[in-house]
Structure 1
Amino acid sequence: MARQLPNPLLPELEAQDAHLTDLPWPSGKGSVTAALHFGDPAAEQQALLTGAAIADLTGRSLLRVTGRDRLTWLHGLCTQEIKSLEPGQGAYACHVDIKGKIQTDLRVTLLPDSGDLLLDMEPGEARRMRRAFKRYIIMEQVKVADVTDAQATIGLFGPDASAALQQATGADLSALPTHHVREVQLAGVEILAIASELIGQRGYRLVCPREQTREVWSALREQGLAAAGHEALEATRIRLGRPRFGADLTDSVLFNEALLADAVSFTKGCYLGQEIVERVDARGRVGRKLLGLRLMCDREALPPVGSAIANASRALGHLTSVAWQEDLGYGAALGLIHRADNEPGASLLIRPDDGPEVEAIVALRDGIA
C-alpha cells in the first residue's frame, strides 16, 4: 500500500493559500503533500534567483548512521570521500551498484555534536535505502535508522539566503563551505543549518525537530521572506543544471553519464561500483551525457518529460526534466543525449508523442539560461 508522509507544515501552507499537490516518491511507493505554488510561481522563482525564499522540504528523507565503523562503512558504499570527514563537514555522493549505475544520491553530514552521519535523500528514499544498506552490514559496528518521522527540513535559497539566515539567527554562515553544518538557534529552536546546493545555487537546508517545524517556518515568514513552491524549485534547479534523483538520475543511468564532478573522488580507494566508474573515466568518454537544453518554443508548445531528442536522421535520447522560464521566454530542460550530438551549441529537435517538434539548443548544465 502506498504511504502518505504527513506534512507538519500543512496548516501553515493552507493558511497561505498554497496550491497543494501530492508529489510521488521516486520509488512510486508513496507520496508527500507539498505546495505546488503560492499563487505566482514565476515571482517565486525570481525570489529564488535574485533574493531569498523559503521552501517546504519536509518530505525529504533522513537516515542517521551510528556506530564505530560508520565512516569506513559508508566510505565503501558511495562515490565520495567520507572516512576523512571531520565533525561539522559533509559531502555530496552517489550510491552505485556493481555496474556503476546510480541507486540514489546522498547529501552526507557528519554531525558536530554526536559524530553521527546524517544522510539526506529524496522523499521516500530512507525506507528503501535503509533496507538496501543493511545488506552491507556484515561484521561492522553500524546501525542505520530512519529519522524522517523525527526531523524535518526547510529550505532557504537564493543569493540573499546567508543574509536572511543571519537576520534570523545572528550567525554569519556566508563562509560555511557547501555541505558543512553549523548548529544555530532560530525562534528558540535548535536547528542544523547545512550549506546546500540542492537547487543549484547557494542556500541552506535547515533541519529541526519535526514537531517544531511550524515555529521555524512562521519565524522566517514573519521576517518577510517569500515562500517558493515545487514549481519554482524545479524551474530553478533545471535552469541551473542541478539533476534530481528520480527524474534525471535513475538506476538506468551510469554515474559517469550524469557528469557529477562534485559527487566523486577518484583518489579515495575501493568502493562498490568503483571498477566501472574508474574504467569509464579512464576511457574518457561515455555513450551519452546528461546535458542542458534551451527549448525554443512558447509555453503552450513546451514538450513533456520523456519526449525524444533527435537530429535530422535519428533519435539521440530523451528529456528528463522540463520547465518554462517566464523571464527568458523559453523553456529549459535536462536530457540524456547520445555523444554524437551532445556538444554545446548543437541544434537538435524535440519530438513529443503528441505535439509539434521543438527546436532545442544543447548547453552545458551551468549555462542553460
Structure 2
Amino acid sequence: MPTSAIDSKDAAAIQAATAEVAVCDRSLWGRIRVGDDDRLRFLHNQSTNDFQKLKSGQGCDTVMVTSTARTIDLVSAYVLDDAVLLLVSPSRRELLLQWLDRYIFFADQVQLTDVTDETATFSLIGPGSDAVVEKLGAGAIVGQAYGNHITIDDGAIVAVGSGLASPGYTLILPVAQKQQVWQKIIELGVVELSDRAWDTLRILQGRPAPDAELTDDYNPLEVGLWQTISFNKGCYIGQETIARLNTYKGVKQYLWGIRLNAPAAVGDTISIGEEKVGKLTSYTETPDGYFGLGYIRSKAGGVGLKVQVGDSEGEIVVIPFVSHEYP
C-alpha cells in the first residue's frame, strides 16, 4: 500500500522510535502456536533457518518459502518449553496455517493452533526501550541475543527485537492483559506509533512486506534476508534453489532503498536511461522527502546509483533491515 504524506503526530512518533522509544500495537499480526514432540524438526523442514539448534528461551527470524524458493512470509519464531510461537504478517495468517497443515503427515507429532484472538502483540521500538522493559519487570532480557525471550508475571513473553532494524522488544501477552500493559507503557511516557507510521518506518528501514517485497517473484537472497538462512542445515522446502543461487552467485536482483526527488507510485518502472532495471515495490512520504523500496538488477549497480523511477529521479541507498552479503 502506498503511504501518503504523514501527519505531525506520526512524524513525532517516528522521531521517538528513532531517538527515544515508541510502542506499536501489532495485535493484528497473526500468532500460530506449533506444539507436540516434532515441532522443531517440522519447522526446521518448512523454513530457511536452523530450528534444531534452538533451545527454550531462544528465537529467530525465518522465511517460509515455496518449493521454488519464492517468498511467502518473514516470520519471527519463539521457542517455549512446550511449543514454538510464530508471529506472522496479518495477511499471511490463514494462508500459513493451511500451508503448514498441508505438510503435517500421518506420523508427525505436530499440532497447529491459531492463538491470534487470545493474545496481543506490542513492539517497543528505539534506544529507550531498555528502560521500559526494566520497569515492566523484564530487565533480565536486556543485553541478550536477538530472539531470546523471558516470561514475566502476567504471562507476557518479552523478546529481544522490535520487528524493525531499530533496537527494541516484542511483547506477546494474553489478550486479558492487553489494556493494562498498554496503559502502563503509555504512562511511562512512551509515544504511540500508529500502523501507518509503522509502515513508513518499515519502508525507510527496508523490512519487506507480503504482497510488496515478499511475493512469488522474489527469493530470500534477492530480498537480502541472509540472517534468516542456514546454508548447512540440510534439506528443507526450497533449499536446493537457495543453495544453487548462493553457490553460483546467481542472484539477479536485489532489494534497495531509493531516495526520491518527487512522488512516485508502487509499480513504477525503475530505469537507467532507456533501460528498465527494476520496479518500485513500496513508497512513502516523510517530512524529509520521498522514499521507496525496489528491486534493481544486480548488474546495474548499488549504493549511489542514480535511477529514474516513473517521472521522478532517485538515488540508491542502504536499508538497514536487509543485507546483500552473508554476515
| TM-score, with structure 2 as normaliser | 0.92
Q: 2:186 aligns with which of 216, 221, 245?
A: 221
**Equivalent in the alignment of 1:165:** 133
For 1:27, the equivalent position in structure 2 comes to: none
Structure 1 residues 240-255: aligned runs within 5 Å? 240-255=205-220
Q: 2:309 aligns with which of 350, 355, 359?
A: 350
1:152-182 deviations in Å (ceiling 9; x for gaps): 1011111111112112326242212111111
For 1:367 and 1:202, how far apart are their aligned partners in 2? 11
How big is the shift at 1:48?
0.5
Alignment partner for residue 182 of structure 1, among 127, 150, 165?
Answer: 150
Instruction: Provide structure 2 residue ranges, at least 5 long, that are not aligned to the other structure.
Output: 323-327
Give the counterpart of 1:362 among 290, 310, 316: 316
Q: Percent identity?
A: 27
- 2:265 alignment partner in structure 1: 304
Q: Which residues of 2 match residues 137-156 of structure 1 at below 5 A?
A: 137-138=104-105, 139-156=107-124
Give the alignment of 1:187-198 within 5 angstroms.
Answer: 189-198=154-163
Counterpart contact for 1:91–1:263, Cα < 8 Å: yes
Distance 1:115 1:333 in 2: 41
Aligned CA RMSD, in angstroms, stands at: 2.0
Task: Name the amino acid aligned to 1:101.
Answer: R
Match for residue 333 of structure 1 among 277, 288, 292: 292
One-letter code aligned to 2:281: T
Q: Matched residues in 2 for 1:324 and 1:163: separation? A: 31
Report the residue type matching 2:269 in the other structure. A
Q: Structure 1: 5+ residue runs without aligned partners?
A: 1-22, 24-35, 352-356
Q: Aligned-pair distance for 1:278?
A: 0.2
Name the structure 1 match of 2:325: none
Q: CA deviation at 1:190?
A: 2.3
Residues 367/127 of structure 1: CA separation in 2 closer, same or farther (3 Å cut): closer
Q: Which amino acid aligns with 1:55?
A: C
Contact 1:109–1:118 under 8 Å retained in 2? yes
Moved over 4 A (4+): 36-39
Which residue is 2:202 aligned to?
237
The total of aligned residue pairs comes to 318
The 1-side partners of 2:182 and 2:175 are apart by 11
2:17 and 2:104 mapped to 1: Cα distance? 41
Counterpart CA distance in 1 for 2:250 and 2:260 is 26
1:320 pairs, out of 277, 281, 291, with: 281
Report 1:1-369 matches (<5 A): 40-111=9-80, 114-138=81-105, 139-169=107-137, 171-185=139-153, 189-297=154-262, 302-326=263-287, 329-351=288-310, 357-366=311-320
Counterpart amino acid of 1:131? Q
Which SS does the other structure have where 2:152 is aligned? strand
Letter in 2 for 1:149: D
Distance (Å, rounded) in 1 between the aligned partners of 2:55 and 2:164: 25
**C-alpha separation between the residues in 2 aligned to 1:367 and 1:87?**
26
Q: 1:38 to 1:180 in 2, by over 3 A?
A: farther
* Shift in alpha-carbon separation, 1:278–1:118, aligned structure 2, 3 A: same
Higher relative contact order (CA 8 A, sep 6+): 2
SS at match of 2:320: helix
Contact 2:164 2:321 in 1 (8 A): no
Deviation, structure 1 residue 197: 4.2
Moved more, 261-270 or 359-368: 359-368
Q: With structure 1 as the length reference, what TM-score do the two structures score?
A: 0.82
Deviation (angstroms), 1:308 = 1.4
Q: 1 CA distance for matches of 2:301 and 2:318?
A: 9
